[in-house]
Amino acid sequence: KKPKAIISVHLYGMPYKVDEVHKIAKAYNIPVLEDSAEALGSTYNSIKCGTFGDISILSFNGNKIITTSGGGALVTKDIKIKEKAVFLATQARDQAVEYLHSSIGYNYRLSNVLAGIGRGQMEVLDDRVAARRANYEHYKNSFRNIEEIKFVDEPEGYYSNRWLSCILTPSEEIREGIRTSLDALNIETRPLWKPMHQQPIFKDAPKYLNGVSDDLFKKGLCLPSGSNLTDIELNRVTSAIKTYFRAWLKNYYKTYQINMLQSG
C-alpha cells in the first residue's frame, strides 16, 4: 500500500536530501508536500527551498525567520491546485451572487494587513539569514575546542538559513545538564523536535524506524538563535556552556581516577 503523500521537512533550515526523496516519490508516483516552514532563504544546489514540492508550505509564524505574526503561504506550480487551495481557504464560495456553497471550506486567508507586513519582511530576509548564520558561526567557533559538541555542517550544494543553531551532545544526561544549567541562568534552550512516532496521538500509527530520530531527540539541543542576539548575549550563552563542560570534565577525570585506583 502506497502512502498518499510524502511530507518532507527541511529541519531547522537545513535542506533535506531533495534528490533522494524526490527520486523515490517520482518512481512510485507519490506527491511530495514540502514543509519549508523553517527553510525560507535556504537553497539546495542553488534552488530555493519551498519550490521542490508538488505543494510546498512556508510559515510566517512569530518564531520563524520572517514573520507576519501568524499565517503562512502555500506554493505550487499547478494552477489547478492553487485555485482549489484559494477556493477552500476562502470559505469555498461557488460562483454566484448569493452566498452559495456546494462544499465545505475554511477561513484561512492571510489578512491584507498581515500580507503587507509580510511584503516588508521579505525585504529583510537576506539580513535575517545572515544574522542566523552568524549565530551558528559564533557557536561553532566558540566550541571548536570542545570535542563533545558536534554540529551539522552543510554538505556540498546545501545552504541553510540556520533558522535555529543546534548542537549534538554525547548523551541525554549531558544534554539535560547543559539545558538545566542554562535554564538556571534564565537562558532558554530546547531539545530537538520530538519525533512524530513518540507523540501520543500517533502511538498507534505504523512506523518504520532506524533509531536516528530517537537518538537525535536524546542528544540534540537548540541554542538561542534569534536574529537580534548581540555578541554579549551570545557570549553569555557560550561561556555558560563552557563552564558546564569544565565542571563535567573535572568530574569525569575524578571518577576516572577513582576507577583507576580501585582497579589498581
Residues binding ligand PLP (CB under 6 A): 9, 35, 37-38, 59, 61, 72
For the bound state, the minimum distance from the C-beta of residue 38 to ligand PLP, rounded and expressed in Å, comes to: 4
Instruction: Please choose, from the candidates 81, 74, 71, the residue with its C-alpha nearest in 3D space to the C-alpha of residue 56.
Output: 74
**Burial tier of 221 (Cβ tally within 10 Å: 0-12, 13-18, 19+):** buried
Rounded to 10 deg, the angle between the 212-219 and 172-183 helix axes is 40
With a CB cutoff of 8 Å and minimum separation 6, the contacts of 169 are: 148, 149, 150, 175, 178, 219, 220, 221
The nearer residue to ligand PLP, 72 or 105, going by C-beta atoms, is 72
For the bound state, the minimum distance from the C-beta of residue 100 to ligand PLP, rounded and expressed in Å, comes to: 29
The nearer residue to ligand PLP, 118 or 245, going by C-beta atoms, is 118
DSSP state of 150: B
- d(C-alpha 114, C-alpha 102), whole Å: 29
The nearer residue to ligand PLP, 38 or 165, going by C-beta atoms, is 38
With a CB cutoff of 8 Å and minimum separation 6, the contacts of 71 are: 59, 60, 61, 110, 114, 118
For the bound state, the minimum distance from the C-beta of residue 196 to ligand PLP, rounded and expressed in Å, comes to: 11
The nearer residue to ligand PLP, 59 or 189, going by C-beta atoms, is 59
For the bound state, the minimum distance from the C-beta of residue 81 to ligand PLP, rounded and expressed in Å, comes to: 19
For the bound state, the minimum distance from the C-beta of residue 176 to ligand PLP, rounded and expressed in Å, comes to: 23
Q: Tell me how far apart the terminal alpha carbons of the chain are, to the nearest angstrom.
A: 61
Paired residues of 158 in beta bridges:
44
